[in-house]
Structure 1
């Protein structure tokens, strides 16, 4: 698999970004990172901070890209991604997905770089199509506590399209479905983190609504495999779902985690958060066809990997 020689990763000290940096560095790619550490962490990148192929600047992307380099690819991952984070910083979330994305696209236009934009399954909102295909327009509340993230990503996709059509910037949008693995912040508010944190403290497990709402959980290695394939190819422009279509209810997830951790905790039910989707599952046929990619790590296997990593 032939990869580019020089890549910029915005948000490279975050959960997904740091894993991507490690994968690129292991392939002798020169990696540049800009991250303001609002949700990322120096701990995530400490193992390769001294690598001569790794260049890190702590800065806010919205203040500009502080490197004077020509990149083959810009992987734009910068954005709060967990509900707790973007509810806490709604304006910053909107800014990095609008102003930040425009700055990335302008830079890519100047140095003729390709852009990988990390969008999200949240662009589908609470979907009325199941599973979700890329041509589904979504069912999103544009005026609510999740709108800063949902609509920020939708606006960013529109910017990508406009730059591709107007200036010929080569764009690949990936809509990432729930992804988990080592380096997730223990208290970032996402369901797997919440359950594992509650299990570690011997607390009751918090179930919102009746627990029958579904998600599809993708292990980080599968996402990285898809991204690396994209970075070795020419872009295909159209948005692409990247996720694991193994659908699981929140109740099933809670029971599985209790089984894997030998826990026996009671469930405590709370009202459903506003605009929380009832079903979420990707149609990945486009990614399978375009990339020759499919997720390989089952939910059980991935959770065992995550649990083991938390013990070390």
Structure 2
């Protein structure tokens, strides 16, 4: 167990791979970092706004219409904001779960490989330790999936950050507001005196705005879109950071405490585990019985032969 734990500390915690220099799959810290990078890119791509001609801000306007209440008209509705946020989080809710399942599948393969190598001369111990490790990893995977689902659910129903980047990015986006309003109201003209009906908006590229000309909520919708875009960058980073920290914490516990305890319990805690390890396999037991019978037969033969030799000596 000491050898197993040291190997796992090397490849899972310290990032050393001198025991597996040619096996890239066992360079675990690098592989885990790659998986996290893939997760981050997947979350960004799967939640990207599909801006098509004639649909920019229309979803936000629809939500604002349904969230109207009796009150001053120039206050952004928090209900509307949370509604759109909930929809965006729901779009990516399965991605973190799939990531955790994939990571624990990878970790299971690595840990079982290490156990097999160090227990290679002890087949009965190898079987018990692999079974214990498999049970432990299955439970830890379920715990991680539950934790990730909880994190995702939290993002659906709460909008908060102390990250100053949210305000700075939103302020930068809102510098485009005046040009946006002028374009929507038909006050922007190109060099040929033709009314401009589109503009470049940061992160969205060139979008058409002609369909917003008669939309009285276009200004509020623009504000909400920019707020949500600024906040969404933080949500995605927070999801990845939370999962990375949870994963590192779980790996530390598994290597330093949980794995050894699980294997010891498997060996000693259920139905005389140590006694089971000392039992011979049926083939070995059969061979031992045959050898013991052969020894007994040889001893008897020796005694008979000795008596015969004594008789020959007396006759002579």
Fold similarity call, TM over 0.5 = no
Q: In terms of Rg, which structure is larger?
A: 2
Bigger share in strand: 1
Q: Which of 1 and 2 has higher RCO (CA within 8 Å, sep 6+)?
A: 2
Q: If each structure's helix is expressed as a fraction of its own residues, which one has the higher value?
A: 2
What TM-score results when the alignment is normalised by the length of structure 1? 0.26
Taking structure 2 as the reference length, the TM-score comes to: 0.26
